[in-house]
Structures are given as C-alpha cells and as structure tokens.
A and B are shown apart, each in its own frame.
Chain A
Amino acid sequence: MRPFDYRRVADLQPVDQPGDRLIAGGTNLLDLMKLEVEAPRRLLDISRAGHDRITAHEGGLRIGALVTNADCAADPRIRADYPLLAKAILAGASPQLRNKATTGGNLCQRTRCQYFMATDTRCNKRQPGSGCDALQGVNRNHAILGTSETCIATYPGDMAVALTALDATVEVLGQDGTRLIPVAEFHRLPGDDPARDNVLRDDEVITAVTLPEPAAGRQSYRKIRDRSSYAFALVSVAAVIELREGRIARVALAFGGLAHKPWRDPQTEAILTGRPPSPALFDQAADALLAKAKGRGGNDFKIALARRALAAVLTEATEE
C-alpha cells in the first residue's frame, strides 16, 4: 500500500483538494489500495460524518449515505415497502462486509474485472490508453451490453440494480450545491473514457439515496452466480411488476452483471406493458433486451443466461 495522510471529518462536505479521497466502510477502497490499483494521497474518513439514518421523505424514504448495508436491509420500512432493495443487499457480499459497507460506498464500488484489479496487465480503466487485456483474455464475468472496444467491464453491485428498478435518486453535494441524479443515470457506459465509472464530479460527495413512494405490485430480485452465497452476480434481475385483470399493468426491470451500469431497457418494458403474461411474450421481451448483446467468448453464456433469468423472474412474478 502506498503511504497516505489520514484525516477524520465530522460532516460530509464537497472535496476541495485534488488527491483527497473519501473512505467510508473501506471494504472496496482498502482492498484496491492494498493492490495499489488505488493510491490516494489523503484519505478523508467519513465513517463518523453522520448521514447514517433512514428518514421519511416525500412519501418515500431517504437513506443517508453512511447507512450501512446491514442496517438498510434490516430496516422494517425497507423490508415492508421495498423488499426488492433488502433482497438485493442481502444477496451481496457477506454479513461481515455488509456491516461495514455503506450506501454511498456501495454505489461507488469499482468493477471486479481481474485485469483492473492487477497492476501487471493492460487496463484502460486503471491506466487510460494502455489497452484492455479482457477483450482477448478471460472475460467470463464481463459485459454483453453497452460495451466499447476500450472496456467491457461490468458494474458488479447488487444494491444499485434494485435501486434502478425502484426509480431511486442519488443526492450529491458539490461546490455548486446539491444535485439530484436518478440512479439509472448515475453509472455510465465506458465509451472511450472507461476510467470514469459514474457521473460524480471530483468535488462531489453522495449525501443520500431517496426512494419514491412504494410502487404497487410484486417485487423480486434473482441473482445467478457461481456459488449460492458470497459471490458476485453473473446475471441478476430486479423486478417490480403489477398485474391488473390478467395483464401486466406496470413493469420495471433492471439487470446486473450485463453492463457497465445497472441495465434498464424501456423497449423491453414497453413490450410487456398492457399484455397478458405468456412464455411467448417473455421470449419477445428477451429478444428486445438482448438484440444488441455481444459476447466476447468467455461471457457468451450470459446471453442465454439473461434470457432464462428474465423468463424465470417474469413467470414467478405473474403467477396467480
């Protein structure tokens, strides 16, 4: 690990020194600092900077940036009204990690691309312009949607996939004041600038995530992975589905493991909306979702896996 200065801060403030880096639970940042993938000059410890409560907010809830994943998933209001969020969080990491992981840190966790996490490989995300060893390498856990020729990494988290289907908003504070960013627009596609995972500016800090009024309908989270616990998703699906008179009245779907951001596809949702559920309809929805999917060898299987995961989630959610 490279040397750094350390300072504890008492409140969340915009970052004003280049080279300063926030540390919350530390479960991702310290991991990467040990690997020297990250080498901040100074750590600002925000773990006691408040913002650790879940409060009522405009008919929904406001989750402070320092609320731990464990506390969020155990909160009775989250469990009752946003079970999808509790399920997604509980499907991630381990109990020990969730006790430290924070809402803000979880959103900003970096990719698990193994070339990114090593310093002796070429990686455009870690070292812009150096190349991408995943394109021709071991790319089993890489993206099939929204990739570019410079990066095929995925956003690895679970919580943000649920937040995307729940139409949540990220509240950030910068030198110019507060900005509200829909979670669906918080992470970005790699394009020709894969070094940036999300749209947060260098001075901005996340202060909270807000949830709108609870949506009607069934909520579910299905995560498919190499072992049944303590592993990142190969594919995950977050769904909110409301049935009325035998038809899908409203549907929100978000996918993890497929792209550099939680993936939401309006066309897939439009195909399903207003129609009676059937295997043929689910197939049509999967066709739309995966029309532009591109495998790179190791991850070709994700195309079939995503199709089946979608069908399974839709079947379960539309059962009488």
Chain B
Amino acid sequence: MATQSATLDVNGEAREFQGDPRQTLLDFLRLDLKLTGTKKGCDHGQCGACTVIVNGRRINSCLSLAIMHDGDQITTIEGIGTPENLAAIQRAFVSHDGFQCGYCTPGQICSATAMLKELAAGWPSAVTEAVADTPAPSDKELRERMSGNLCRCGAYSNIIAAIREVMQSEKGT
C-alpha cells in the first residue's frame, strides 16, 4: 500500500495530507492538523459530532477519507469563529445555553451554519407539507433539519432557540 497525498484547503489554508489512505477526514483534522474542535462521537455516521462543511455542504467527516478531498474547501468550527472573535451563531449558543457538556456543539454549529443556507435555498425536508413548495422556517422544520446532530445532554430546545435568534438577526440586517 503506497503513501498518497492530497492538498486540502482547511479554513482558508492549504494543508498537505500525506499517508495511509485509510485515514478519515476526521482523524486527519484532529490528529495531523491538531484541529481538535471537530469531535468524534460514534465514528459511524450516527451522531453528527464530526460535522464539517465541505465546499459549502455539511457532511460527517468520520465517513469520508482525507485522500478523497484533494482540492476541497473544508470549514471546521475553528474556521467559523475564534474565542476572541465569535461568529453570531456561536454567541447565540452561549447566550441561549445551547449546550451543557459541549461535546456535540462544534458539530451542531457547523451543521446549523450550512443548514441555514439549505433553508435559504428553499430545500424541502421530511416535514415540509408539500415538497414542491418553499418550506416555512417553523420550529418543526428546524428540528427535522438538525436531526443529524444528536445531543446526549438534551440541549435541543436551546439549540433551536439559538438558531432562531441568528435567523431573526439576519432578517433584521
């Protein structure tokens, strides 16, 4: 098995992947790049803790190989905002207590960031009454759209409140 390489754009910086093609994008981010904000929950696509944004789309980084992302643009929680300069969604999670232990939070925030774009693009969901119609941004829609991110602490209602605040402030500006 040959060592193989790829170049990924991670949070705006070119990063080299070199090594065993078995390495997942999640392990590459955490172990090689030391970007430990992205979390490993289940490693099997069942929890959403590892959610990152690839070329504008949210995905589970545990079920993807780093080598497959040559040339892709990856945004992790570290690229969304920093402790000194929090993004609006991060501030909203803080002010609404959108977490307890915080383990699921980076995944929730990356997921929510991309989810709002999907909603703005008019994508339907499983709870959209008529799939051909533009979905209404109801709490029911938000809950369904965030169902790929589990929270063992059960902070769900506060997570929805945080997302709603960001939606409202974006509407106001």
Output the residue of B63, B118, B125 with the most chain A CB within 10 A.
B63
How many A-B contacts if CB must be within 8 Å? Answer: 107
Q: Which residues of the other chain, A, contact B68 by a CB distance below 8 angstroms?
A: 8, 23, 26, 45, 47
Q: Are B22 and A4 in contact (CB under 8 A)?
A: yes
Q: Does A70 contact B (CB under 8 A)?
A: yes
Binds B, one of A94-102, A200-208, A238-246: A94-102
Q: Which residues of the other chain, B, contact A132 by a CB distance below 8 angstroms?
A: none
Q: Does B43 contact A (CB under 8 A)?
A: yes
How many Å from the CB of A101 to the closest CB on chain B? 10
How many Å from the CB of A183 to the closest CB on chain B? 20
Q: Is the interface of B mostly helix, strand, loop or mixed?
A: loop
Q: Which of A4, A34, A91, A96 is close to B1, meaning CB atoms less than 8 Å apart?
A: A4
Knowing A70-B123, A87-B126, A94-B148 are in contact, say whether A6-B57 is a contact too (CB < 8 A): no
Q: Are B24 and A30 in contact (CB under 8 A)?
A: yes
In the bound assembly, the distance between CA atoms of A91 and B58 in angstroms comes to 18
Knowing A30-B65, A95-B145 are in contact, say whether A83-B131 is a contact too (CB < 8 A): yes
In the bound assembly, the distance between CA atoms of A266 and B122 in angstroms comes to 37
Q: Which residues of the other chain, A, contact B122 by a CB distance below 8 angstroms?
A: 74
On chain A, which size bracket covers the interface? 35 or more
Q: Are B63 and A3 in contact (CB under 8 A)?
A: no
How many Å from the CB of B24 to the closest CB on chain A? 7
In the bound assembly, the distance between CA atoms of A8 and B44 in angstroms comes to 23
Knowing A34-B43, A96-B59, A99-B57 are in contact, say whether A4-B132 is a contact too (CB < 8 A): no
Q: Does B101 contact A (CB under 8 A)?
A: no
Tell me which residues from 111 to 158 in chain B have a Cβ below 8 Å from any Cβ of chain A.
111, 115, 118, 121-126, 128, 130-132, 144-145, 147-148
Q: Does A252 contact B (CB under 8 A)?
A: no
Q: Are A79 and B21 in contact (CB under 8 A)?
A: no
Q: Does B79 contact A (CB under 8 A)?
A: no
Q: Does A230 contact B (CB under 8 A)?
A: yes
Q: Which residues of the other chain, A, contact B51 by a CB distance below 8 angstroms?
A: 96
In the bound assembly, the distance between CA atoms of A96 and B38 in angstroms comes to 15
Knowing A3-B1, A34-B43 are in contact, say whether A96-B60 is a contact too (CB < 8 A): yes
| Smallest Cβ-Cβ distance to B20: which chain A residue | A3
Chain B: residues with CB nearer than 8 A to chain A?
1-2, 4, 20-22, 24, 43-45, 48, 51, 57-60, 63-65, 67-68, 70, 111, 115, 118, 121-126, 128, 130-132, 144-145, 147-148
Known: A80-B132, A96-B59. 6 other contacts (CB 8 A): A6-B65, A8-B70, A30-B24, A79-B131, A96-B111, A100-B59
